[in-house]
Amino acid sequence: MSDFSDPYAAARDAARHLLDRLGVPRIDVGLVLGSGWSTAIAGVAERLAEIPLAELPGFTAPAVSGHGGSALLLRSASGRHHLVLTGRTHLYEGRGVAAVVHGVRVIAAAGATRLVLTNGCGGLNPDWAPGTPVLLADHINLTATSPIVGARFVDLTDVYSPALRNLARRADPTLPEGVYVQFPGPHYETPAEVRMARTLGGDLVGMSTTLEAIAARQAGLEVLGISLVTNPAAGLAPTPLSHAEVLEAGAAAVPRLRSLLAHLLEEL
């Protein structure tokens, strides 16, 4: 069991360990890849190293099929170093909030100034077919928790950087924007909860990202959030949700995600 009694010290320790193993003094950008995204990173930029997450302090192997479990060090054509985590810890795994945001805190402690958070999610907008990537404009955190403990009041205006959203739209001008609603999971929503999310102003429903974005803003990172809609949210399609459908939509979207990731790795 990992010791998160001082989660910031745990992140500094893991970052030192990681940079030693990678043989670089710091990283420039961090990326966290969610459902459907980890296969899209293959062949994007030069790969310098791959470390199984389970070998790094505070991380565990991924619990879900469709999620990867490595830390990749990539180098862009301009020579910048990107650390890609191909899996994440979800709140529903029961390891606590500190474990959920540990990867983001390690990325910050390793020197990054920018972070890309990706996920697979359910869509509330019928115009967004499965396989559509959507930029996060904002979020609603329905987990009833925070990664921050104590009187540390972090501003979340523009939690997802408008400048980074513009940069992403230069690669793909048709990218829509939406508000992401994080539920705790691991069950999907009921149709009534999906209607509630829409009434609250949500466009996307998922089980990750908001707690990581909060921890990232606390650490001073600029954040870009991108969701891949893999299914219509419950009650919006005639058939029940299935994890197989999620994996299929992810596979079909790989070419578009790959070119988006390639652009981001060069421009960030």
| Distance (Å) of CA 203 to CA 18, 63, 167 | 36, 26, 21
Give kind and range of the element (H or E) at residue 16.
Answer: helix 7-22
Residue tagged active-site, from 189, 193, 212, 222? 189
Q: Least CB distance from residue 3 to ligand 8IG, whole Å?
A: 30
Q: How far is the CB of 161 from ligand 8IG (least distance, A)?
A: 24
Q: Where are the beta strands (DSSP E) in 96-169?
A: 114-123, 132-141
Structure tokens at 95: 């390891």
**Rounded to the nearest whole angstrom, what is the least distance from the CB of residue 35 to ligand 8IG in the complex?**
4
Q: Between 160 and 199, how does the x/- string for binding to ligand 8IG read (CB under 6 A)?
A: -----------------------x-x--xx----------
The site string for ligand 8IG over 201-220 (x = CB under 6 A, - otherwise) reads ----xxx-------------
Stretch that binds ligand 8IG, among 9-17, 41-49, 87-95, 120-128 (CB under 6 A): 120-128
Considering only residues 219, 233, 257, 268, which one is a binding residue for ligand 8IG as defined by CB under 6 A? 233
Q: Which is nearer to ligand 8IG, 4 or 188 (CB)?
A: 188
Residue nearer to ligand 8IG on the CB measure, 18 or 207: 207
Asked about 55 being catalytic, the answer comes back as no
Binds ligand 8IG by CB under 6 A, chosen from 62, 103, 120, 147: 120
Tell me if 132 contacts ligand 8IG by CB under 6 A: no
Among all residues, which ones are annotated catalytic? 189
Which residues of the chain form contacts with ligand 8IG (CB under 6 A)?
Answer: 35, 120-122, 183, 185, 188-189, 205-207, 230-231, 233, 241, 246
